[in-house]
Amino acid sequence: MRYTLLSDGKHVRPMLCLAACELVGGQESAAMPAACGVEMIHASSLIQDDLPCMDDDNFRRGKPTNHKVFGEDIAVLTADALIALAVKKVATSTSFGVPPEKVLQAILELAKAVGTEGLVAGQAADLVGEGMSFDKESQEGLEHLEFIHVHKTAALLEAAVVMGGIMGGGSDEEIERLRSYARCIGLMFQVVDDVLDVTKSSDELGKTAGKDVIAGKLTYPKLMGVEKSKKYAERLNREAREHLQGFDSH
């Protein structure tokens, strides 16, 4: 677990979780267990995503993937253990003064992000979509691609931000605005990732470059081209910022 969980990464999700908590007026400590739990789920998803039966990648964050070091059997068990540990960690939030009903609400958000309403659905659609052919900029192709990334990438990022808002005592309106913000950021993150995959080297990325193209996966550059993908990312960034307007009062 430590090999993947403590490896060099951006830790975007836990940082957003803590930031969302503070944004609604909460103390950072209240969201710390949730932030840790989200990162554990993310680490679990990376282990599974890299398996030979999934995306079959040998490198992650500049070093061999979990299954290449410990074997596929241990990698699968490690991913399972991290999911259980994540829920356990979030449940300790009551020790930081978070009301039990808020902790339950946060755990439900996390469960939704992991299962058939989130990561699992996104990964399944991604696997099914390999080799599928769509015309450039076809509406059907873009809808299928957005479904994949709303679930596979944006869902956990959305959960991270929403959980932070919940732990910080945010109102229902604030939490929904945070949710909209996170959805935009999650999609933007994936668009940028797709662009980098075809414009950067493996050394620069810390993982195998061009894997999506080789595997025949749907990507934004494949359907929209690199330049239009960049403009789409810029639009999502603007929309995300708009959802944060009005939080300055905290």
pLDDT of residue 55: 82
pLDDT of residue 239: 96
pLDDT of residue 127: 85
pLDDT of residue 35: 98
Three-state SS letters, 164-193: HHHHCCCCHHHHHHHHHHHHHHHHHHHHHH
Closest CA to 89 of 106, 114, 66, 113: 106
Residues 6+ apart with CB under 8 A from 241: none
Q: Could you give the domains of the chain?
A: 2-249 (1.10.600.10)
pLDDT of residue 209: 63
pLDDT of residue 248: 66
Per-residue pLDDT of the chain (250 residues; tens, 9 = 90+): 988 888 877 899 999 999 999 999 999 999 999 999 999 999 999 999 999 988 888 888 778 999 999 999 999 999 999 999 999 999 999 999 999 999 999 999 999 999 999 999 998 998 887 777 777 777 888 898 899 999 988 999 999 999 999 999 999 999 999 999 999 999 999 999 899 988 876 666 666 666 677 767 788 898 889 999 999 999 999 999 999 987 865 5
- Taking the CA atoms of 204, 54, 107 and 181 in sequence, report the sign of the dihedral they define: positive
